[in-house]
């Protein structure tokens, strides 16, 4: 209904979609780019492209997957253009108040996890974050990234394997 209204040119309806998807896109693109401003630009570009191409969206298909596909294409274009001047992953993470869930993992482990995610190859990281943060199925990830479902499964598998290789020994040490 909301998407249909937006397709009819209702900007208020599109604003609701922006409200709903901005944070998800920004979070994913920040993890891919490691740069706040680049991520913001890419989210804006994605949403404006989506607004312009909303008429081509088939009602009934997965809007989130469609949006993330646009975002990924924008990211790939940007990444190719800026490959040489790519910024390293920040070592100091932004401060964040510790909540009850975070206490399960120490600050040190969280830093380690963030760095490990940042060091994953882009393809693995994109697929893994779509699975874990956005809850997309392997089929939907394949759709977003333009790959086969089995390739999506493989990339998530490899990302998990690498992260577990880094984090499991740390968790074992902390458990002692």
Partner 1 sequence: MNCELIQRRLLSIQDPERMPSQLRAHLAYCGACREWHDHLLLLERHIPLLPIPRSDGKAKLMRSLLQAQAPPSPGDMPETSSRSHAPTLWHSHSGRLLRSRTWLLGVAAAVLLIALSWLGLQRWLQTTGSSPPSEPASGLAVFFTALAPLAKAKNAAPQPVDFPAPP
The binding site for partner 1 (CB under 8 A) comprises 11-12, 14-15, 18-19, 22-23, 26-27, 30-31, 36, 39-40, 43-44, 47, 93-96, 99, 101-102, 104-105, 110, 113-114, 117, 129, 131-133, 137-138, 153, 156-157, 160-161, 163-164, 167-168, 171
**For residues 51 and 41, what is the distance between their CA atoms, to the nearest angstrom?**
15
Instruction: Give the shortest CB-2-to-partner 1 separation in angstroms.
Output: 14
**For residues 113 and 18, what is the distance between their CA atoms, to the nearest angstrom?**
29
Nearest to partner 1 of 3, 171 (CB atom): 171
**For residues 151 and 4, what is the distance between their CA atoms, to the nearest angstrom?**
33
Nearest to partner 1 of 79, 153 (CB atom): 153
Nearest to partner 1 of 86, 107 (CB atom): 107
Nearest to partner 1 of 82, 164 (CB atom): 164
Contact 7, 52 (CB under 8 A): no
**For residues 73 and 170, what is the distance between their CA atoms, to the nearest angstrom?**
35
Nearest to partner 1 of 32, 58 (CB atom): 32
Alpha carbon of residue 43 to chain centroid: 11
Instruction: Give the shortest CB-59-to-partner 1 separation in angstroms.
Output: 22
Q: Residue 152, Cβ neighbours under 10 Å: how many?
A: 26
Instruction: Give the shortest CB-90-to-partner 1 separation in angstroms.
Output: 9
* Positive/negative CA dihedral, 11, 15, 20, 22: positive
Instruction: Give the shortest CB-40-to-partner 1 separation in angstroms.
Output: 4
Give the max Cα distance, the chain: 60
Instruction: Give the shortest CB-112-to-partner 1 separation in angstroms.
Output: 11
**For residues 150 and 157, what is the distance between their CA atoms, to the nearest angstrom?**
10
């Amino acid at each position: 209904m909301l998407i249909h209204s937006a397709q009819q040119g209702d900007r208020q309806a599109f604003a609701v979609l922006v409200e709903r998807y901005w944070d998800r896109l920004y979070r994913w693109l920040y993890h891919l780019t490691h740069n706040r401003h680049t991520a913001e630009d890419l989210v804006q570009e994605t949403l404006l492209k989506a607004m312009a191409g909303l008429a081509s969206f088939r009602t009934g298909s997965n809007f989130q997957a469609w949006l993330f596909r646009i975002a990924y294409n924008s990211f790939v274009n940007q990444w190719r253009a800026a490959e040489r001047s790519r910024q390293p992953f920040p070592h100091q993470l932004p401060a964040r108040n510790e909540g009850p869930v975070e206490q399960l993992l120490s600050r040190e482990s969280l830093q380690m996890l963030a760095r490990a995610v940042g060091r994953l190859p882009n393809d693995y990281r994109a697929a893994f974050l779509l699975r874990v943060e956005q809850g997309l199925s392997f089929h939907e990830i394949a759709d977003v990234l333009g790959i086969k479902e089995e390739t999506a499964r493989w990339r998530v598998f490899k990302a998990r394997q690498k992260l577990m290789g880094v984090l499991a020994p740390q968790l074992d040490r902390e458990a002692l």
